Structure 1
Amino acid sequence: MAFAPQIKIPATYMRGGTSKGVFFNLTDLPEAAQQPGAYRDAMLLRVIGSPDPYGKQTDGMGGATSSTSKTVILSKSEHEGYDVDYLFGQVSIDKAFVDWSGNCGNLTAAVGAFAVNNGLVDAARIPDNGVVVVRVWQVNISKAINVHVPITNGEVQETGNFELDGVTFPAAEVKVEFMDPADGEGDMFPTGNLIDELTTPEFGTLKATMINAGIPTIFVNAADIGYTGTELQDDINSDPAALAKFESLRAHGAVKMGLISDISEAAARQHTPKIAFVAPPAEYTSSSGKRIEIDDIDVLVRALSMGKLHHAMMGTAAVAIATAAAIPATLVNDAAGGVDRSNVVFGHPSGTLGVGAEAALVNGKWTATKAVMSRSARILMEGRVHIPEPQV
């Protein structure tokens, strides 16, 4: 029996923030994958190595975590005033499913560098030395993002001394500005409340702040669900019963936010919303062994992504944290001391992160104009990925 040879697709494997993903230029994809649909999804699943019943993604580029099971497709922007269109696909590890419902804030830091390196930014805009602001249109959520990419001798500067907790080695600092970060259409607080009552069979009725900023996120108090906010990954991820409770909480919150109509639909929308729990500052030791003191942080936050506690913090969730912290009377602001603030430093399992946001009350409704954070990014490998021809 004759078997067809593998197809070879130009790709770049990049780290952005605390995530890794496979990046593609739209025009380099097989023609059938240049449009959304079953062929594109099947191609990306095979590239990453999903679905994998072993949960390891051994036969693909994925790293068997939500942070490393990611894909990005970039193209010259079709929107006036922007350089590049950025489409993000979160690939499920154990299911044949690519979730297109949200953005990846961490990988956004790598989008600017890829765009420059692949000729998607007008050469006239790139200085010999300095910073080029790559104007990104985020296709998944229809939002603008500015990525400040350092340039040295006309090329992207990747090395530097900027340190990011959750990333082992220092690199060049990349500032990312999320413009008008309220996610999707409608109110930033979809229920109209800064704090809601959210009821689940497992937890009963809890206070929750549900916000659409960066990515739809549900915040609850750590103490209300039996935690301290100082937990590390194994404290949550080694407990299947706890993970099931968090998924139920996420599903019920998604219904209340209007993202789905029934909790049964949550399984097909794994990437959004995120679920997070907050607590006032406390001392703890991070996953790297670094001691975090009370004075180092304003608030503790732990967040789950794709059903597991994240090893650091999703970039989009950091936008939600910054925005909620800037708005008085949210659970995040309360846990951070209940004071007016435009910047917040939060503690996560790998250490700390500082983020900022500008929010204002306009015509009786809260709105955010911008959220800012610093990340880093670099190319890990570039070349071609080899996969069998997708069968759809």
Structure 2
Amino acid sequence: MAHVPQIKIPATYIRGGTSKGVFFRLQDLPERAQVPGPARDALLLRVIGSPDPYGKQIDGMGGATSSTSKTVILSQSIKPDHDVDYLFGQVSIDKAFVDWSGNCGNLSAAVGSFAISSGLVDPARIPRNGIATVRIWQANIGKTIIAHVPITEGEVQETGDFELDGVTFPAAEVQLEFLDPAADEDGDGGAMFPTGNLVDDLEVPGVGTFKATLINAGIPTIFVNAADIGYTGTELQDAINGDPQALLRFETIRAYGAVRMGLIDNVDQAAGRQHTPKVAFVAPPSTYTASSGKAVQAGDIDLLVRALSMGKLHHAMMGTAAVAIGTAAAIPGTLVNLAAGGGERSAVRFGHPSGTLRVGAEARQVNGEWTVTKAIMSRSARVLMEGWVRVPGDSF
């Protein structure tokens, strides 16, 4: 029996924030994978090593966590006043499924540098030394991200002394601005608060009824109070991920919250939309020991947040969820704002399993409706490997 040989595709493996992903230029993909559809999904699944019933992704580039089962496709932008179009695919680990429903805020930190290094940004826009401003069109959600990328001697600077909890080594700081991060009337799920309320009573059969803030900002997110679901907000990954019943409860909350937000019509559709919405629980500040062993003091943070991604508690914080946290914190009366002490605020520092993160947001009320012009946070990015990724020629 003849076997089809492997093909090789130009690719770059990059850490962005607390995530890792395989980056491609659209033009480098095989022709049938240059358009959305089954061929593209099958290719990316094979690149990452999914679906893997063992949950390890041994035969691919994935790292067996939601933070490392990611792909990015970039192309020169077709949008006016933008440099690059950025498409993110969250690859399921154990299912034959690529979720295109949302962005990855962490990998957003690597988009600007990859775009520059790959020749997707006009060289005239790149200084010899200083900061390059890369205008990114986030194609999944139809939003603009501005990346401020450090440049030294005409090249992207990746090394530096910026430290990010959840990442072992320091690197160069990349500041990101998420413009108009809330969904608008034409966006998926409707307005920033799809129910029209800052806080809802969310009824989840078999789990209970409790207060929830349902928000579309950065990424659709369901915030609940940690105490209402039996937690303190200081939990680390094993406390949640090692408890199958807890994971089932969170998935049930996510499904019913998604219906309430108008993202799906019924809870059975939640399995086909794994990347969004996110579920997070919040609590007032408390001292705890992060996963690194570092003590996080209550006096150094405004609140505690723990968030789940792709069915598991995240080891740090998703960048898009951080945008949702910053946005909700800026609006008096949301559960996030109340956990942080209430009142008006333009930034918060929150505690997550790996440490702390600061995120800012500019919010204002117009005709009784809250709007957010932008959310700001810093991340870092570093190329880990570049060259070609190989897949069997008949796998897509």
TM category, shorter: over 0.9
Q: Matched residues in 1 for 2:351 and 2:207: separation?
A: 25
Q: Deviations over 1:235-285 (max 9, x none)?
A: 000000000000000000000000000000000000000000000000000
User: Superposed, which structure 2 residues align to 1:1-392 within 5 Å?
Assistant: 1-183=1-183, 185=187, 186-391=190-395
CA contact (8 A) 1:39 1:390 kept: no
Q: Deviations over 1:14-42 (max 9, x none)?
A: 00000000000000000000000000000
Q: Matched residues in 2 for 1:52 and 1:262: separation?
A: 27
How much does 1:390 deviate? Answer: 4.2
How much does 1:103 deviate? Answer: 0.1
Q: Which runs of 4+ in 1 moved over 6 A?
A: none
Between the aligned residues of both structures, percent identity stands at 76
* Residue type at the aligned position of 2:109: A
CA contact (8 A) 1:23 1:71 kept: yes
Q: Matched residues in 2 for 1:183 and 1:309: separation?
A: 25
* Residue type at the aligned position of 2:2: A
Q: Matched residues in 2 for 1:120 and 1:270: separation?
A: 31
* Residue type at the aligned position of 2:41: D
* Residue type at the aligned position of 1:13: Y
* Residue type at the aligned position of 2:14: M
How much does 1:364 deviate? Answer: 1.7
How much does 1:391 deviate? Answer: 4.3
TM (norm. structure 2) is 0.98
CA contact (8 A) 2:4 2:394 kept: no
How much does 1:339 deviate? Answer: 2.1
How much does 1:340 deviate? Answer: 1.2
Q: Deviations over 1:277-327 (max 9, x none)?
A: 000000000000000001110000000000000000000000000000000
Q: Matched residues in 1 for 2:41 and 2:363: separation?
A: 37
Number of positions where the alignment pairs a residue of Structure 1 with one of Structure 2: 392
CA contact (8 A) 1:138 1:144 kept: yes
Q: Deviations over 1:160-200 (max 9, x none)?
A: 00000000000000000000001352310000000001011
Q: Matched residues in 2 for 1:4 and 1:45: separation?
A: 18
| Distance change (3 Å), C-alpha of 1:88 and 1:378 | same
- Long gaps (5+) in structure 1: none
Q: Which moved more, 1:360-369 or 1:289-298?
A: 360-369
CA contact (8 A) 1:355 1:371 kept: yes
How much does 1:362 deviate? Answer: 1.2
Q: Deviations over 1:354-389 (max 9, x none)?
A: 000011111221111000000000100000000012
- Long gaps (5+) in structure 2: none
TM (norm. structure 1) is 0.99
Q: Matched residues in 1 for 2:181 and 2:4: separation?
A: 46
Q: Matched residues in 2 for 1:46 and 1:364: separation?
A: 49
Q: Matched residues in 2 for 1:390 and 1:307: separation?
A: 31
Query: How well do the aligned residues superpose, as a CA RMSD in angstroms?
Result: 0.7
Q: Matched residues in 1 for 2:242 and 2:171: separation?
A: 32
